[in-house]
């Protein structure tokens, strides 16, 4: 049996979560088969480097969750894969349930750890808005969606590196994507970013965003926001982090003027390091922060930006 990792593209680039999945598949013993839909040989080489033994290329015209699910289930059957790893992304959440139904498999979403074998899998996932974690044991077949930035990418894998093409297509599809309306979004996708600078009610107004954006740009990160800032109309919903926004797991999350309500913590509590900047020493964010700065963010953020520019050039 094998592990099937479903890759995902953004534009012409392979998303980092795709390489995370192939590396995570190695923890289950492998062999690891990566499914690459509408990708290139260059994308395939990235997957080989991160742990794939075989990359199966497939073609799909217009995106539809049903079409992707049909391809994934067909390739899983072709390769004898009993465990499917998919990104916990908008698309991954869209088709994972359909794949589980087609495979008569268990489904666990938003996992942050995976281990075991292809027949007995153990996973860990946040529950109760991130206030606790569930450790789940399940037997194959299983479909798992993995939170971006939760898995280490191990490069340099020297496997068989077999590149194949499947004839599996979208099959019978009853609905298709009609239209996509793109918002301005962030310069770096929030769910993929390794560093996020977020602002909350404490930034006092939309005129403060350029200050936070400059810090994010200096660090090569993304700009986030709390629900309070979004509800106030200071920034669009595409930046919102939290229970009603995006769930992120960056290496570093810098919270500026964010009190730390449980709804916000649910979206960023699994960050590796949390830096909180807030004038209120009793703000709940300090209870989860790795580092805390009790001071005026309008003094601290520009000072941080200046120092990082000196260090990073």
306 is in an annotated binding site: no
242 is in an annotated binding site: yes
11 is in an annotated binding site: no
185 is in an annotated binding site: no
259 is in an annotated binding site: yes
- Determine which helix (DSSP H) or strand (DSSP E) holds 163, and give its type and residue range: strand 162-165
124 forms beta bridges with 113, 135
226 is in an annotated binding site: yes
147 is in an annotated binding site: no
Angle (CA) 79-81-44 rounded to 5° is 65
Radius of gyration of the chain (CA): 20
241 is in an annotated binding site: yes
151 is in an annotated binding site: no
37 is in an annotated binding site: no
243 is in an annotated binding site: yes
26 is in an annotated binding site: no
Q: How many Cβ atoms from other residues are within 10 Å of residue 84's Cβ?
A: 29
Angle (CA) 172-174-180 rounded to 5° is 115
25 is in an annotated binding site: no
Separation CA 206–CA 101 (nearest Å): 45
Separation CA 305–CA 176 (nearest Å): 45
59 is in an annotated binding site: no
Both tokens of 257, joined, read: 């003027």
257 is in an annotated binding site: yes
Binding residues for FAD: 201, 226-227, 240-244, 257-264, 278
**Known binding residues:** 201, 226-227, 240-244, 257-264, 278
């Amino acid at each position: 049996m094998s592990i099937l990792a479903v890759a995902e593209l953004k534009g012409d680039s392979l998303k980092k979560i795709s390489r995370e999945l192939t590396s995570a598949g190695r923890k289950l013993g492998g062999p690891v088969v990566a499914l690459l839909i509408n990708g290139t040989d260059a994308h395939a080489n990235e997957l080989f480097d991160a742990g794939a033994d075989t990359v199966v290329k497939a073609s799909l015209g217009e995106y539809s969750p049903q079409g992707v699910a049909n391809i994934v289930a067909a390739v899983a059957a072709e390769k004898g894969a009993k465990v499917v790893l998919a990104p916990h992304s908008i698309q991954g959440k869209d088709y994972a349930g359909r794949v589980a139904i087609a495979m008569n498999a268990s489904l666990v979403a938003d996992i942050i750890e995976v281990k075991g074998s292809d027949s007995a899998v153990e996973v860990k996932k946040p529950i109760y808005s991130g206030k606790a974690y569930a450790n789940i044991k399940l037997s194959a077949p299983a479909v798992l969606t993995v939170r971006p930035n939760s898995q280490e990418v191990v490069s340099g894998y020297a496997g068989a590196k077999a590149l194949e093409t499947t004839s599996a297509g979208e099959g019978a599809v009853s609905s298709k994507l009609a239209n996509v309306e793109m918002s301005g979004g962030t310069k770096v996708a929030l769910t993929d970013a390794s560093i996020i600078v977020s602002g909350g009610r404490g930034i006092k107004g939309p005129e403060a965003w350029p200050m936070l954006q400059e810090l994010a740009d200096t660090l090569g990160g993304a700009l986030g926001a709390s629900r309070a800032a979004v509800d106030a109309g200071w920034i669009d919903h595409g930046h919102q982090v939290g229970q009603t926004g995006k769930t992120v797991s960056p290496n570093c999350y810098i919270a500026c003027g964010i009190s730390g309500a449980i709804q916000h913590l649910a979206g960023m509590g699994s960050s590796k390091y949390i830096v909180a900047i807030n004038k209120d020493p009793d703000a709940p964010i300090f209870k989860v922060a790795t580092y805390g700065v009790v001071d005026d963010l309008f003094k601290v953020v520009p000072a941080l930006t200046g120092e990082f520019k000196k260090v990073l050039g």
